[in-house]
């Protein structure tokens, strides 16, 4: 007797082995001597797939029980022992977002290429397809979604973060999958996303708890300096939110140009991004000196670099009203950064807050010493060569590791 589990992918019109996944509907078929003997529904789950379990016999089984009961009994046994089907409740348990206790968490996460499996002719994403160089298939994509959700739900249990900023998401669809097909399903999240001119099609995005916050407006801010030649990078995403207590919160999500061509060669691009962001912050503060402002992102610079400290005016201590408070200066000094870069940890990923969030004793305010880098054991691995714990990434080059990201998430807490 042979046992197989097949999943019907209706979008691509193919059947495939679904043992690593969790099907929506399982249908049992019992075939004896090439004749269909019985067909019975077995179970349902919330996944958008349909699977069958096929039992094939060369001879009729020597059992006197009716065929349906026999198929069900045999299926239960073989599912538990032979087929190794994952438990549904482990995958489909959902979290609820109950940040109603006067505190809420904010986080930022560069998720290292959260991309779908489809080839978009408008961007360079051919490697991330089933037939591409990285063999990026549905199973790997599903694993990526589950791992990303695991990080988010682990930030401030039992609550989910009220606001999550992302870098390296391909499109709105992948974020929809993240909040609808994982444990984040009960998080009451809305999405803010805009396509950026990045050649690989990776964007920044934001999700927020719609029971606690309301979107007022959102826009993309271009940070390409024409004087530096033709290059493509991610826009800054600006989102204005309204809290339940009618306070306005201004959030900027960033992913500044990388250092791939060298720190000195690319520094001017990040300085331009910092100046552009600083200009927008100043415009907000000119209208409201006590404006609540959060800027988060992967800045590809540490807090002590000229782009952050001088041009963005993000400091360890606020000296003038327009300064931003940057708790990641101290975190970076302590070697607890978010990326392992050139043999040490560096805080490329940061969250900074305006003076009114840092110093005010009423309304929305920073919870002291709550900023941190998320360093749970499952998001790192021990490098066998050096013994150093490093981010447990999805890929290194072309090699698939099935990890989480090459960046660690950063977060802080606010009171309101």
* DSSP-derived 3-state class of residue 12: coil
CA angle 35, 40, 42 (to 5 degrees): 135
- What does the CA dihedral 205, 206, 210, 211 come to, rounded to 10 degrees? 160
CB contact at 8 A, 77 and 69: no
Residue 314: what are its φ and ψ, rounded to 5°?
A: -100, 120
CB contact at 8 A, 150 and 405: no
Q: Which spans in 122-167 are helix H?
A: 138-153
Question: Residue 377's CB: how many other CB atoms inside 10 A?
Answer: 9
From the list 146, 1, 135, the residue with the least C-alpha distance to 75 is 1
Question: Residue 328's CB: how many other CB atoms inside 10 A?
Answer: 27
CB contact at 8 A, 16 and 9: yes
Residue 302 corresponds to which tokens in the numbers above?
């540490």
d(CA 410, CA 331): 11
Would you state the pLDDT for residue 229? Answer: 76
Would you state the pLDDT for residue 228? Answer: 82
> What is the torsional sign of CA 123, 127, 131, 135?
negative
Residue 91 CB partners (closer than 8 Å, separation 6+): 22, 146
Angle between helices 138-153 and 172-180 (to 10 degrees): 70
Strand pairing of 380-382 and 35-44? unpaired
pTM recorded for the entire structure: 0.78
* DSSP-derived 3-state class of residue 160: coil
Would you state the pLDDT for residue 198? Answer: 87
CB contact at 8 A, 146 and 182: yes
State yes or no: cis peptide before 158, omega within 30 of 0. Answer: yes
Would you state the pLDDT for residue 225? Answer: 87
pLDDT by residue for the chain (416 residues), tens only, comes to: 444 444 444 444 444 444 333 333 444 444 444 444 444 444 433 334 444 444 444 455 444 345 544 554 545 444 444 444 334 334 446 676 655 579 999 999 999 999 999 999 989 899 999 999 999 999 999 999 999 999 999 999 999 999 999 999 999 999 999 999 999 999 999 999 999 888 888 999 999 999 999 999 999 999 988 888 777 899 999 999 999 989 999 999 999 999 988 999 999 999 999 999 999 999 999 999 999 999 999 999 999 999 999 999 999 999 999 999 999 999 999 999 999 999 999 999 999 999 999 998 789 999 999 999 999 999 999 999 999 999 999 999 999 999 999 999 999 999 99
* DSSP-derived 3-state class of residue 371: coil
d(CA 167, CA 170): 9
d(CA 412, CA 416): 13
């Amino acid at each position: 007797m042979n046992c197989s589990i097949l999943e019907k992918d209706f979008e691509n019109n193919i059947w495939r082995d679904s043992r690593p996944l969790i099907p929506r509907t399982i249908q049992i078929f019992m075939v004896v001597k090439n004749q269909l003997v019985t067909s019975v529904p077995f179970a349902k789950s919330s996944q958008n797939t349909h699977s069958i379990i096929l039992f094939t016999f060369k001879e009729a089984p020597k059992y006197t029980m009716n065929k349906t009961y026999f198929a069900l009994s045999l299926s239960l046994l073989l599912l538990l022992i032979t087929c190794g089907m994952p438990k549904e409740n482990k995958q489909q348990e959902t979290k609820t977002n109950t940040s109603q206790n006067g505190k809420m968490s904010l986080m930022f996460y560069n998720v290292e290429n959260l991309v779908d499996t489809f080839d978009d002719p408008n961007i360079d994403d051919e490697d991330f397809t089933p037939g591409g160089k990285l063999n990026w298939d549905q199973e790997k994509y599903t694993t990526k979604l589950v791992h990303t959700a695991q990080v988010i739900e682990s930030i401030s249990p039992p609550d989910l973060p009220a606001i999550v900023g992302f870098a390296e998401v391909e499109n709105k669809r992948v974020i929809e999958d993240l909040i609808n097909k994982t444990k984040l399903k009960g998080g009451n999240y809305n999405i803010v996303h805009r396509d950026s001119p990045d050649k690989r099609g990776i964007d920044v995005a934001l999700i927020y708890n719609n029971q606690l916050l309301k979107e007022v407006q959102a826009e993309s801010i271009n940070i390409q300096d024409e004087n530096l030649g033709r290059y493509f990078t991610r826009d800054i995403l600006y989102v204005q939110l309204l809290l339940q207590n009618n306070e306005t919160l201004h959030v900027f999500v960033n992913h500044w140009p990388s250092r791939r061509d060298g720190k000195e060669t690319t520094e001017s691009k990040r300085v331009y991004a910092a100046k552009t962001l600083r200009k927008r912050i100043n415009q907000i503060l000119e209208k409201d000196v006590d404006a609540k402002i959060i800027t988060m992102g992967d800045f590809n610079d540490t807090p002590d670099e000229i782009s952050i400290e001088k041009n963005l005016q993000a400091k360890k201590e606020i000296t003038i009203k327009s300064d931003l408070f940057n708790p990641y200066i101290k975190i970076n000094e302590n070697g607890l950064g978010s990326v392992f870069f050139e043999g040490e940890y560096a805080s490329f990923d940061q969250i900074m807050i305006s003076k009114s969030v840092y110093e005010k004793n009423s309304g929305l305010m920073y919870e002291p010493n709550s900023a941190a880098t998320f360093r749970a054991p499952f998001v790192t691995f021990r490098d066998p060569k050096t013994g150093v714990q490093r981010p447990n990434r999805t890929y290194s080059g072309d090699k698939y590791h099935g990890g989480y990201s090459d960046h660690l998430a950063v977060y802080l807490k606010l009171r309101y």
